[in-house]
Every structure is written in structure tokens, then in C-alpha cells.
Amino acid sequence: MLSHKGCGEVPNISVAIIGVGNCCSALLQGLEYYKKRRNKPLGLLHREVGGYLPSDLKIVLAFDIDKRKVGKDLSKAIFAEPNTVPRLVKVPKTGTTVLRGPTLDGLGEYAKELVKLDDGEPVRVDEALKKSDVEVVLNLLPSGADEASIWYAKQALKADCGYVNATPAPIASDRKFGELFRKASLPLVGDDLMDQFGATILHMGLLKLLNERGVRIDESYQLDVGGGAESLSTLERGRELKRKIKTEVVGSAVPYKFPLVAGSTDYVDFLDNSRDSLFWIKGRCFCGVPVTIDIKLETMDGPNAGAVLMDVVRAVKLAKDRGLSGPLIPVSTYAFKKPPERKDLETAWREFEEFIAEK
């Protein structure tokens, strides 16, 4: 593989996106933003991943079910309703037309008020992936779309593509699926993407810090209220699963059990793509003196996923270059809430650094 530091150019990483929602909008805008700022990586977790820059990602295919997006150039579709991520940069025409994917369970009852279903016939996804020489399929479907997430994973297998599962659907964490990707000599990562600096990572960091400073944590909660289609889908179909996953991963930050709740609680339409996270931590320090933390975090969902997605897609491409297959543990533990194996934050970061540094 040639490096940007050398005399040659690294080839594009051809990516297909499933679900042209707010995360897709933020990612595409981010690619344009960092293309013009190659030497100014403010906001990125990694400028390079195995020699690949963010500008090496090229979205060559996109699938959706909303008629306001299907048939449109991706540069236009990412700003179509019900998307609410603001225009961060000017995105030129991409030449990638959004294709009609199958609906399956990708549209819940609550979201039917937001999405205008396209009445066209779905394309043959596996054939489209093969025709466009896609290397990495990125699943950005809403929470609760387990059937669709699994179906697209099977299409990635048919088309010889690596697969990134950003949803809570059990794919990378499912041994049978892991074995299918291993036998096909294809990389797989997931499940349930962890934001760059969202409620989960902040909650884990606070609990770990308190524990290391000798504070005994007695109880804690972290509750999220958000807008956008993802928050609405989570409220209807994925709240219990996401709460279970979040509570488990947050609780892993300290070596003992205590009363803990972490997860989504409600949908507020006028918050658009924003999310308010409320944290409560109660504990005891020196001589049993009580200490309480009560804070609020305000974030925007789509952009909060962008930097992590850029790292993950580049890492999957790197794995393909190296001939690695099956669940990628260092990538999954670094970037997801429900990986095949769970490790503490420092170990996950270190092993990801080691993974991308290998020759």
C-alpha cells in the first residue's frame, strides 16, 4: 500500500451507505470538510489510519427508502427531510444517486409520520455492490431495524464486502455471523457505534475517575432525550435493548456492581438532531462524606458519530489490505458499545493504536 507520505497516492476506499440519514449527512459533509483541511485535523480522532486519510473515503453507493432521497444525488439527498443536520460545508455533486433499498423492518410505526415511503421497486443490492466494486458496507439504519441490518450483512457477504454495523442489531457480536465473515475472508465490525464524545464515553470516564480517586459509587443514572428519526425509532423499538447495552458498557468502567441506569428516555421533535444527556452520580469519599455529580451534556448526534465512522471504515479497509477476516476485535472494542469482546477504554484505545500501526 502506498502512503500519502511517499511518492504515490493511496487508492480511494469505495463505501456503500445503508440509510441516508443524519449520520450519513454528517459523514459526507465531514469528508468534504477534511478534504480541504488535510493538515488541520481538528475534531478527528486520527488523521491517518494505516496511511489512509479521511479524503480517501469515497461513497460510491447509497440506499434509502424515502422518496425525497431516492433518485437524488447524494449531495442533495443528505439535506432532504426528515434529516436535520445543518449545512456545515458546501457539498458538491457526488455523482452517486441514492438507490431504492428494500424496506423490510427499516420503518417503524412511529417513524411513518416522518418518512415518505418511495413507491419504486428495490434494486438488487448485491449486484449493485458488485458493479460498483464496493469494499466496505456501512450500515446506518435506525435502531430496531434488526431484520434489515442482518439482510444487508448477507448482501455484503454475497458481494465480497467488509461490513460495519453501527446499529444495536447483533451481528459482529453473533458467533455465527462472525464465522460466516471469517469463512468468506471478509472483515466485520460492530455492534452499536459509540460516539466520539457522547453520553456513554463521558459517563464511563466519570465513573472510572471517581473510582480511581477512591470514591465509592453508590448509584448513578444517565438519561437521554433527543430529536430526529433515530431517537424516535429508539423510543419505539430499541429503547430496552439500547438501555441494556449502555448500562452494561457503562457499568464495566468500575470493578463492582451498583444501582445503574443508562439509556434513551424520550423523543422531543424540536430538538432535531440534538441530544440532551442528564447525568446523576452519587457516592462517598473520605470518612464516608457524600459527593454528588449532577450535569447535563448537549450534543448533535450525526457529527458526533463522524470521526469514529471515519476511523472504523479506514480500519476495515486496512484489514482487507492485510487479508484479515471475521470480527475485528481491536476495531470493535475501540468504536462500539457491544463488541464481540469488551475491554476497558485504555486497553481498547491501545489495541486499536497497535492494530493501525502494524506493518
CB distance 61 to 17 below 8 Å: yes
Contacts of 295 (CB under 8 A, 6+ apart): 278, 279
State whether residue 143 is helix, strand or coil: coil
Specify the pairing of strand 274-284 against strand 290-300. Answer: antiparallel
Q: What is the pLDDT of residues 81-90, one digit of tens each?
A: 999 999 999 9
pLDDT-above-90 percentage for the chain: 83
Instruction: Return left, alpha or beta for 71; rule: phi > 0 is left, psi -120 to 50 is alpha, else beta.
Output: left
As given in the structure block, the three cell numbers for residue 337 are 458499545
209 in helix, strand or coil?
helix
* DSSP character string of 16-36: EEE--SHHHHHHHHHHHHHHS
Whether 10 has a pLDDT exceeding 80, the answer reads: no
CB 21 within 8 A of CB 143: no
DSSP assignments along 264-292, one per residue:
EEEE-GGGTTEEEEEEEEEEE-GGG-EEE
| pLDDT tens string 70-116 | 999 999 999 999 999 999 999 999 999 999 999 999 888 888 888 99
> What pLDDT is attached to residue 223?
94
Q: Rounded to an integer, what distance in angstroms lies between the CA atom of residue 158 and that of residue 169?
A: 19
**Given this model, what pLDDT does residue 282 score?**
98
- Nearest CA among 353, 141, 348 for reference residue 249: 348
* Predicted local distance difference test score (pLDDT) of residue 359: 62
- Residues 36-69 have pLDDT tens digits of 887 778 999 999 999 999 999 999 999 999 999 9
Confidence of residue 231 (pLDDT cuts 50, 70, 90): confident
Q: What is the pLDDT at residue 222?
A: 96
Q: What does the pLDDT read at residue 346?
A: 93
**CA-only gyration radius of the chain, Å:** 20
Residue type at 138 in one-letter notation:
L
Domains of the chain and CATH, by start? 13-194+303-357 (3.40.50.720), 199-301 (3.30.360.10)
∠123-139-35 over CA atoms, to 5°? 100
Quick one: pLDDT at residue 166?
Answer: 97
Q: How far apart are the first and last CA of the chain?
A: 10
Question: H-type helices in the chain, by residue range?
Answer: 22-35, 74-77, 125-131, 146-158, 175-183, 199-212, 228-233, 239-251, 301-322, 329-335, 345-357
67 touches 87 (CB < 8 A): no
- Is the previous residue joined to 133 through a cis bond, with omega within 30 degrees of 0? no
| Average pLDDT of span 203-210 | 97
pLDDT at 6 over 70: no
* pLDDT at residue 112 in the model: 84
Q: pTM (2 decimals)? A: 0.92
Pairing assessment for the beta strands 187-189 and 162-165 based on DSSP bridges:
parallel
